Amino acid sequence: MSAPPLAKKPRTSTPGKNDDDGIPVPETTTLDYVNLTSHTDSFGVDPIPVSWGHPDPLVRGPIICTVRHSSQRNAIGAHSGSYCIYTGLAVAAGKLNPDYVPNLKLTRPVFQIGPHKSWSDPKKVASIDPFGHLTTEVYGAYLDKGFDIRPTIAITKAHIDLPETREAVAAGRLIPDGKILMPNGQSIVSKAAIEPVWYLPEIARRFGCTETMLRQSIFRMTNGMYPELITRPDIKIFLPPIGGLTIYIWGDPDTIPDEDIELTCRVHDECNGSDVFGSDICTCRPYLTHAIEECIKTAQRGGCGIVIYFRKEGRSLGEVTKYLVYNTRKRQEGGDSAENYFSCTEQVAGVQDTRFQALMPDPLHFLGVTKIHNFISMSDMKYNAIVSTGIEIVNRVEIPKELVPADAQVEITAKVFHGYNAGKAYQDIDEKELKKTVGREYAY
């Protein structure tokens, strides 16, 4: 595939602005007033060009979204997603110097990811900066020159200690090998934390709208939080104030692109109530821990296991909305029922689901995935989104029936009836089963 065209806007050729290395001299912002917004043709505005999708990171250009280089900034938004507000609080409280630049010397990734061919295809990677973990490696010359460029991906390793894994060891389902799984039940993982970085033209294409409509819709529904979405059409990169994702890997990450080596994968969306606190109204935690068990087994067979954990609480509607839906489900006439499972969400939120899955496959392409042998998910939406981007899925693995909590029968029945992959375990779910499945009653 040919590389995308380079950014058209020429760099300012003011004498002294560039050295022989072609890297511009950073212009540090030291203003004593607040500039409410900026415009494309304003005096002094000269963002570092970005040629999204170019395979050469130096030609692609660094993503600059820090406050120190307002004239050269080439992205709308701020680092750290929704946590950027806490940075503002730290500055207001006098706890953080707004001019502080992080020391990144010891932060380089502890294992390598990429580069992969998919990195240069915006149709595969448009919500992640594929070079976001290589800031010190590929943009070191910018850093040495004084630019404040922040990583959007951090890669490390860890030991994971889950009671379900210890129980699997005790039951004999998992056998410690001292490499992937320790005798105490801890498993060894490689992991990557990723902040979203959106290339707006491609995001708009995936959602079937114009870039202008996308910008206007985000601007409107955030109450004008980002005026540069409207005033700076020349800036195509947006760091949205949303949660990111974490990738957990069991086994050797280098095997992921090899289609001949077994790969097990779950894409999981955050559910604080179940994942952390064990609420039994849904299948989230048991499905997640089952996936981890399968990932460990795959890694012990010489393959690799991946769990991608998205911060999309309550189907991206938020936890407050989710709890309002819970109350509606329990209080409706006839009580909580599988038949009305989805309509209760629409009644409260106006929509069943705002996760959409158009951006979900990007981290798979970031890892170089082209084939998933075992997909630990029943979601038709996730399956369709992944295979539509060219990734092959061989087996779809449903949650074992014995792992479904008592009050989650409503959820699993409704989802299977409305299109989730039933597998062998749930083939008996029909309209009669849908109508008779009800949840626990509460006196509230």
153-199 pLDDT, tens digit each: 999 999 999 999 999 999 999 999 999 999 999 999 999 999 999 99
Contact 283, 323 (CB under 8 A): no
Q: Is the pLDDT of residue 243 over 80?
A: yes
CA 115/CA 131 separation, integer angstroms: 8
Which residues carry out catalysis?
A: 353, 355
Amino acid at 302: G
Q: Tens digit of pLDDT for each residue in 45-55? A: 889 999 999 99
Joined together, the tokens standing for residue 280 give 């039994």
Look at residues 264, 283, 267 and name the one whose alpha carbon lies nearest to residue 275: 283
Q: Residue 290's closest CA among 167, 119, 414, 147?
A: 167
Evaluate if residue 305 carries a pLDDT over 60: yes
- What secondary structure does DSSP assign to 47-78, as a single string? PPP--TT-SSHHHH-----STT-TTT--EEE-
pLDDT for 354 equals 86
Cβ neighbors of 125 (< 8 A, separation 6 or more) are 118, 119, 362, 365, 366
pLDDT in tens, 60-102: 999 999 988 888 999 999 999 899 999 999 999 999 999 899 9
Average pLDDT over residues 423-430: 88
Helix (H, G, I), strand (E, B) or coil at 237: strand
Tell me the Ramachandran region of residue 350: left when phi exceeds 0, alpha when psi lies from -120 to 50, beta otherwise.
left
Residue 366 has pLDDT above 50, yes or no: yes
Residue with tokens 């489900």: 329
Q: What is the pLDDT of residue 39?
A: 72
Say what the pTM is.
0.92
Per-residue pLDDT band at 44 (split at 50, 70, 90) = low
Does pLDDT of 244 surpass 50? yes
pLDDT, position 28: 80
Q: Are 369 and 307 spatial neighbours (Cβ–Cβ below 8 Å)? A: no
Residue pair 165/158 in contact (Cβ under 8 Å)? The answer is no
Task: Compare 10 and 273 and report the one with higher pLDDT.
Answer: 273
Cα–Cα distance, 159 to 136 (Å, whole number): 26
Structure-block tokens of residue 329: 């489900």
SS3 category, 199: strand
Per-residue pLDDT band at 353 (split at 50, 70, 90):
confident
The angle formed by the CA atoms of residues 163, 165 and 253, to the nearest 5 degrees, is: 130
Tell me the Ramachandran region of residue 81: left when phi exceeds 0, alpha when psi lies from -120 to 50, beta otherwise.
Answer: left
Confidence of residue 425 (pLDDT cuts 50, 70, 90): confident
In contact, 44 and 205? CB cutoff 8 Å: no
What is the structure's pLDDT at 423?
A: 84
Give the pLDDT score at 377.
96
* Integer CA distances (angstroms), 106 to 101, 110, 421, in order: 14, 10, 45
The pLDDT of 354-375, averaged and rounded, is: 96
25-40 tens-digit pLDDT: 888 876 566 666 677 7
Q: What percent of the chain has pLDDT over 70?
A: 92
What's the token pair of residue 48?
A: 């570092």
Question: pLDDT at position 422, please?
Answer: 86
| Residue 33, pLDDT score | 60
From 211, 232, 178, 183, select the one nearest 47 (Cα to Cα): 232
Sequence-separated (6 or more) residues with CB below 8 Å from residue 234: 9, 40, 47
Query: By the 8 A CB rule, do 85 and 165 touch?
Result: no
Give residue-wise pLDDT tens across range 314-326. Answer: 898 999 999 999 9
Angle at 433 between CA 429 and CA 435, to 5 degrees: 135
Phi-psi region of 356 (alpha: psi -120 to 50; beta: other; left: phi over 0): left
List the alpha helices (DSSP H) in 388-441.
Answer: 409-417, 431-436
Q: What local confidence, expressed as pLDDT, does residue 71 receive?
A: 87
Euclidean distance between the first and the last CA atom of the chain, given in angstroms as a whole number: 59
Q: Indicate the pLDDT class of residue 42, thresholds 50, 70 and 90.
A: low
Q: How confident is the model at residue 15 (pLDDT cuts 50, 70, 90)?
A: very low
